Amino acid sequence: MATAFVFPGQGSQAVGMGKALADEFAVARAVFDEVDDALGERLSTLMWEGPADALTLTENTQPALLAVSLATLRVLETEAGVDLARDATFVAGHSLGEYSALAAARSLTIADTARLVRVRGRAMQKAVPVGVGAMAALIGLDFEQAAAVAADAAQGQVCQAANDNGGGQVVVSGDKAAVERAVEIAKSRGSKRAMLLPVSAPFHCSLMQPAADAMKDALAVATVKPPLVPVVANVLALPITDPAEIVRRLVEQVTGTVRWRESIAHMASQGVTTFYELGAGKVLSGLVKRIAAGAIGVAIGNPADVTAFKAAQGA
């Protein structure tokens, strides 16, 4: 029975996330301290005390989610004897989560990853003025249908299928007027629900090219090692291990589609039956069972989850 470890992206954040882990486990506290030191500020205080509107700023959300995911992994390693190289067939992460996956697999250090995602968050926020772009979820359409809606809605502007999340959930991204047109077109084509999302920028579309350029520069000077476990890349939905390719795909990911449905399906086709979601929220665990028949998703993000994991492993 093969397993994969997956890592959440933006949208899973909440004030207080990770605090129970830090309170109970010294190794978790050490991860939060390491991220704080790398950024030169007490991000952990913002995570645990808020305010929520500051935490949801992309430049804060991204390193915060990274910290919780890696703290969770460190706890599993020390408390339950998890050895990623031995216990995981693949790692993968949704958008920002791909950086968490790479850090988990020791391709990047925690400190370097924290600094990279801070650059990424700021560059993504800066790439498009607030109010110019938008994203919308189209529920009940498959990827091809949603991509066709986006193409018809563009009308000379940008509108792209940004996230293929699976379970009939596709997110489109681009110029605000074009995305609003996509919502109306989707409703006329059988979408069960189509709605604008409360996001601060239009991620994963060509409007993010300035952010892709910034990440190309930042990654060019980062030390990237072969991961201990193959990383299933968002833009390929296939596993990669070569550091040069990892860098190239991370740059492409900023403007490219997050092919999450295909990523989970590929891992399942290679025998993965259990997907452990490490960090904040349970979004990815919920998607697993809708994408891969018979597969299960298990979310681990607090001490009770760790206890349950240990009991299931007989640890």
| CATH code for the domain of 144 | 3.30.70.250
User: Do 98 and 211 fall within a single domain?
Assistant: yes
- Alpha-carbon distance of 186 to 284, in angstroms, equals 24
What is d(CA 195, CA 148) in angstroms, rounded to the nearest whole number? 17
Q: Give the count of domains, the chain.
A: 2
pLDDT of residue 247: 98
Question: Shortest CA distance to 73 belongs to which of 62, 85, 55?
Answer: 85
Strand 193-196 versus strand 133-139 pairing type: antiparallel
- Is the same domain home to 105 and 6? yes
Which of 44, 95, 173, 200 does the annotation list as catalytic? 95
Quote the tokens at residue 76: 């599993």
**Beta-carbon-side half-sphere exposure of residue 277 (alpha carbons within 13 Å):** 21
SS3 119: helix
Q: How far is Cα 118 from Cα 104, in angstroms, rounded to an integer?
A: 17
Q: What is the mean pLDDT of residues 16-45?
A: 98
**pLDDT over 80 at 151, yes or no:** yes
CA distances from 265 to 87, 102, 163, 293, 302 (A): 19, 20, 15, 9, 27
Answer with the one of 182, 199, 216 that is the final residue of a domain. 199
Q: Which has the minimum average pLDDT: 174-178, 226-230, 263-267, 310-314?
A: 310-314
Whether the Cβ atoms of residue 231 and residue 90 lie closer than 8 Å to each other:
yes
Residue 308 sits in a domain whose CATH number is: 3.40.366.10
Number of other CB atoms surrounding residue 54 within 10 Å: 13
Give the integer Cα–Cα distance in Å for 55 and 64. Answer: 8
Q: What is the pTM of this model?
A: 0.97
Q: Pick the last residue of a domain from 199, 221, 245.
A: 199
Q: Are the beta carbons of 212 and 120 closer than 8 angstroms?
A: no
Decide which of 199, 223, 257 is a domain's last residue.
199
Q: Are residues 100 and 14 in the same domain?
A: yes
Percent of all residues in the chain with a pLDDT value above 90, rounded to a whole number: 95
Does 229 lie in the same domain as 98?
Answer: yes
- 174 in the same domain as 144: yes
The separation between the first and the last C-alpha atoms of the chain, rounded to the nearest angstrom, is: 18
- Judgement on whether residues 138 and 123 belong to the same structural domain of the protein: no
Is there a single domain that holds both residue 107 and residue 167?
no
Could you report the per-residue pLDDT of 49-78, keeping only the tens digit for each? 999 999 988 999 999 999 999 999 999 999
Phi-psi category of 85—alpha, beta or left, where left has phi over 0 and alpha has psi -120 to 50?
A: alpha
Known catalytic membership, residue 95: yes
In the prediction, which pLDDT does 200 show?
82
Instruction: Give yes or no: residues 103 and 189 share one domain.
Output: no
**pLDDT of res. 314:** 78
Q: Are residues 280 and 165 in the same domain?
A: no
Catalytic site residue from 100, 204, 266, 285 = 204
Predicted pLDDT of residue 270? 98
In the predicted structure, residue 116 carries a pLDDT above the cut 80: yes
What is residue 51's predicted lDDT score, i.e. its pLDDT?
Answer: 96
Domain that holds residue 173: 133-199
**Together in a domain, 189 and 155:** yes
147 & 189 share domain: yes
315 has a pLDDT exceeding 70: no
Mean pLDDT across the stretch 3-9?
97
CA gap 248, 220 in Å, rounded: 10
Look at residue 52 in the predicted model and tell me its pLDDT: 94
* Higher pLDDT, residue 92 or 313: 92
Tell me, yes or no, if 94 is annotated catalytic.
no
The pLDDT-based confidence of 274 (bands split at 50, 70, 90) is: very high
Q: How many CA atoms lie within 13 A of 114 on its CB side?
A: 23
Tell me, yes or no, whether 165 and 256 share the same domain: no
